[in-house]
Amino acid sequence: MPKFLSTSDSDFETRFTALLGAKREDSPDVDHIVAEIIADVRARGDAAVLELTAKFDRLELTAETMRFSPDEIAAQCAKVSDADTAALQMAADRIRAYHARQMPDDAMWTDDVGAQLGWRWTPVSAAGLYVPGGIATYPSSVLMNAIPAKVAGVGRLAITVPTPDGAINPLVLMAAKIAGVDEIYRIGGAQAVAALAYGTQTIAPVDKITGPGNAFVAAAKRRVFGKVGIDMIAGPSEILVIADKDNDPDWIALDLLSQAEHDESAQSFLITDDASFGQAVAAAVEKRLETLERRAIAGASWRDFGAIVTVRDMDEAVALSDRIAPEHLELCTADADALATKVTHAGAIFIGGWTPEAIGDYIGGPNHVLPTARSARFSSGLSVMDFVKRTTLSRMTPEALAAIGPAAERLAQSESLEAHGLSVRARLDRINNLGA
């Protein structure tokens, strides 16, 4: 059973704070191993990657077979059913349409002193996408990472996906093909991240690495951050459903379970203003857990981290939601639209009972790579913005420099940066001489 809390209880604050602070992830300290792997790949390139792949994935590759050939990709894609291909294609089209609207605008204007100011956005030249192997190989994640990069205009997009014992999910290759990925390497772990960041004889280095992975991958991304850009370090998934009594308890139960089934460390919250509705949802969860394929995982998550909180009213629900800063927030209330505008911290909001979170995972259009572990307080889901960068632009005229240069000179002097001031002064003197 999950934890039951009520804001009316005298120990609510203590228990709620404990829930927020629950350490859900046991991150093994793999940092020193990862540091060695990265150093090895930097020093020996392909040779190191191939050795580590033989060791960890039990797969003997060569520099030539590290990359999937066009024939291999075609052969794998041929295994995908038409229905799956059509579903991936619809998802890709919708994700592309949503992300195309995120492209930021360039700007250039002339201000009141005659200075031209502005900025210009350009895509990252090359990006690498880490795709996990094994049970957590999700073709939907390939679409969610690759399409924003391609919409941004990234010229070269490489995927690394480990294939333990040679096993590959054909849907991953189909998703990569649909998304327009340029290169696919059958490597994984910290060695793949190192190869993408530093390059090897076979793999050209990229400028940005995104995508989820295990503790080794996360540690490697943290280490190469600075040499290349990275996306967030994702933690276990979370959902908060805020629901009033006018919902089918089974729908809400399934929404809670669709996070819980991801991972034993996932966390599912229900906040409701009706305690008996909360009980009904809890009962519906138990019933579904009897038959769910992944009941061992979902049951552990729900038992260890699940919670049902009863509140006095929906304003209280929003206040608690902002403390949770949930990755996914479902609003199943009569006034869901109005409630959504009151929320400050959430990765994604699913408005109304007809919008199960699973729609957002696959097909809605918004990205499913979202900030976890309360990081929605300061970060956003993956987007086109992760694959572009801004160059600021300035152009002074003599008149503009005459108007604002003396203040720059003054500030440079106050910071004892003489050359800064002189670089302005030399030009101001010329202006004065020209004027004289």
- The reply to whether 169 sits in an annotated binding site is no
Phi/psi for 117 (5° steps) reads -135, 155
Other Cβ atoms less than 10 A from the Cβ of 418: the count is 11
CB 88 within 8 A of CB 171: yes
Return the residue of 22, 47, 204, 404 that touches a second copy, per CB under 8 A: 404
Nearer to a second copy, 67 or 277 (CB): 277
Least distance CB 184 / a second copy (angstroms)? 19
Strand segments (E) across 301-373: 307-310, 328-332, 348-351
Catalytic residue among 327, 330, 357, 368: 327
CB 352 within 8 A of CB 358: no
Return the residue of 216, 269, 305, 350 that touches a second copy, per CB under 8 A: 350
Nearer to a second copy, 66 or 249 (CB): 249
Q: Point out which span in 16-24, 54-62, 176-184, 336-344 binds a second copy (CB under 8 A).
A: 336-344
Least distance CB 55 / a second copy (angstroms)? 27
51: left (phi over 0), alpha (psi -120 to 50) or beta: alpha
Least distance CB 395 / a second copy (angstroms)? 4
Least distance CB 161 / a second copy (angstroms)? 15
| Range 354-393, binding a second copy (CB under 8 A) | 354-367, 370-371, 373, 375-381, 383, 385, 389-393
226: left (phi over 0), alpha (psi -120 to 50) or beta: left
Nearest to 373 by CA among 308, 328, 310: 328
| Range 38-77, binding a second copy (CB under 8 A) | none
End-to-end CA distance of the chain: 86
Q: What is the dihedral of CA 162, 168, 169, 171, to 10 degrees?
A: 90
- The reply to whether 64 belongs to the active site is no
Other Cβ atoms less than 10 A from the Cβ of 41: the count is 28
- Check residue 334 for interaction with a second copy (CB under 8 A): no
| Range 234-273, binding a second copy (CB under 8 A) | 248, 250-251, 254-255, 257-258, 260-262
- The reply to whether 345 belongs to the active site is no
- Check residue 22 for interaction with a second copy (CB under 8 A): no
What mask, x for binding a second copy by CB under 8 A, covers residues 129 to 148? ------x--xxx--------
- Check residue 349 for interaction with a second copy (CB under 8 A): yes
| Range 274-293, binding a second copy (CB under 8 A) | 288, 292-293
Interaxial angle between packed helices 295-305 and 249-260, expressed in degrees from 0 to 180 and rounded to the nearest 10: 100
Distances (CA, A) of 385 to 104, 224, 231, 268, 335: 8, 20, 11, 29, 32
| Range 158-197, binding a second copy (CB under 8 A) | 171
Q: Which residues carry out catalysis?
A: 327-328
Instruction: Provide the annotated binding site for Zn(2+).
Output: 259, 262, 361, 420
